[in-house]
Amino acid sequence: MIKLNNASSKQLHVILPNTNKALEEVLKSASPQELQTLTQSKDLGSILDALLKQSQTADTAQNKLLLQLLKNNPTLKSLSSANTTLKELIATLKQEKNPLPLEKELEKFLTNIKDINPKELKTKMQNSGVFLEANIKNSQNPKELFNSDIKALLLKAHDELSNATQANRQEILKTIDKLLLQIDYNQLVSHLSNASSLYIPYEWNDLQEGNIALKNAKDDRFFCDIHLNLKSYGELNLRLALFENNQLSINIHTKNEALKSLLQNNLQTLKKQLLHVNIVPKEIRFIDLKQNEYETQTNDELQMGFEVKA
């Protein structure tokens, strides 16, 4: 678990296998050849040493291989969304005769998407568990973080429940472990890709799966990739590129014609809303790319082959 009395440990928990469940899962199933490629040796200690010493970039052979193993791991690929697991955990907690404090904390964290507002979203992202280790490292009083960060709350609840007598104790612990695995997965993807891999802490009934990845590029440009799987419309992929502080380019990809038409009909409304918050939508375009191609396109390439421009 997280230890606050060791300065070096504050920086390491995101990538130590005994605390990062996603890394532990990947290393468990990695072949000897893959382990050797990761570290140029065969012991797991060298894997950690290599990860700790290298810079956080995604262009090293070790990072690329580990990221590939992470995304292709059968256990991690079969996970549902973090929001789905959050709802499962809340439902399990509600079955307890004596409500646990964790239930109310999670209910406050997971609210309806219709109630979203920028300030609250920022706070929820910061407390999503993905940034816990970095926040501990930079905080003057790390213990304060444990009152609001979801990963810290889950770790604390896990410790308290380990020797408790609740009827649903095993089921609760299992769901907590699953949610911690999902948070650790996002942490590790963020570290290896030099980006921020996030989940939206809001309840959206039409959303089956979804994730957001933020990344900064050269010349003070920032990218946000959003991948959603909607019950009514299927997959929706967006790439947002912000440059010159407030100039925004949006690229949209969907195979569903009904969703495409709905978005096209509301582009002017979106444009007005962006301008209202001083964001200038330089272009809003639809692209016709497969998802794997979409993810690897550079910004310049994404300016080609569009059907609609707002």
Predicted confidence pLDDT, tens digits, the chain (310 residues)? 333 333 334 444 555 566 788 888 888 888 888 877 776 654 555 555 555 555 444 447 778 888 899 989 999 988 888 888 999 999 999 988 888 889 988 988 888 888 888 888 888 888 888 888 777 777 777 777 778 899 989 998 998 898 888 888 999 999 999 999 999 998 888 878 777 787 878 888 888 888 788 887 777 788 888 989 999 999 999 999 998 889 999 999 999 999 999 999 999 999 999 999 899 999 999 998 654 454 545 444 444 333 333 3
Vertex 289: Cα angle to 284 and 294 (nearest 5): 80
| Max CA separation in the chain (angstroms) | 61
Contacts of residue 142, Cβ cutoff 8 Å, sequence gap at least 6: 4, 10, 135, 136
pLDDT at 200: 79
Interatomic CA distance for residues 23 and 215, integer angstroms: 22
In single-letter form, the type of residue at position 177 comes to: D
Phi then psi for residue 284, to 5 deg, are -125, 110
| DSSP letter for each residue of the chain | ---SS-TTHHHHTTT-TTT-HHHHHHHHH--HHHHHHHHSSS-HHHHHHHHHHS-S-S-SHHHHHHHHHHHH-HHHHT---HHHHHHHHHHHHHT-SS--HHHHHHHHHSEEGGG--HHHHHHHHHTSSTTHHHHHHH-SSGGGGGGT-HHHHHHHHHHHHTT---TTHHHHHHHHHHHHHHHHHHHHHHHHHTSEEE---EE-TTEEEEEEEEEEETTTEEEEEEEEEETTTEEEEEEEEEETTTEEEEEEEES-HHHHHHHHHTHHHHHHHHHHTT-EEEEEEEE---HHHHHH--TTGGGSSEEEE-
Query: Are 79 and 186 a contacting pair, CB within 8 Å?
Result: no
- pLDDT digit string (tens) for 251-282? 999 999 999 999 999 999 999 999 998 999 99
CA dihedral 61, 62, 64, 65 (to 10 degrees): 110
The domains of the chain are located at 9-73, 82-196, 206-309
Instruction: Supply the pTM of this predicted model.
Output: 0.75
| Calpha distance 165→172 (Å, rounded) | 12
| CATH dotted code for 206-309 | 3.30.750
| Residue 4 CB contacts under 8 Å (≥ 6 apart), including other chains | 10, 136, 142, 143
What's the pLDDT score for residue 59? 47
Q: What is the pLDDT of residue 309?
A: 34
CA distances from 23 to 18, 47, 195 (A): 9, 11, 17
Distance of CA 8 to the CA centre of its chain: 25
Distance CA 250, CA 236 (A): 13
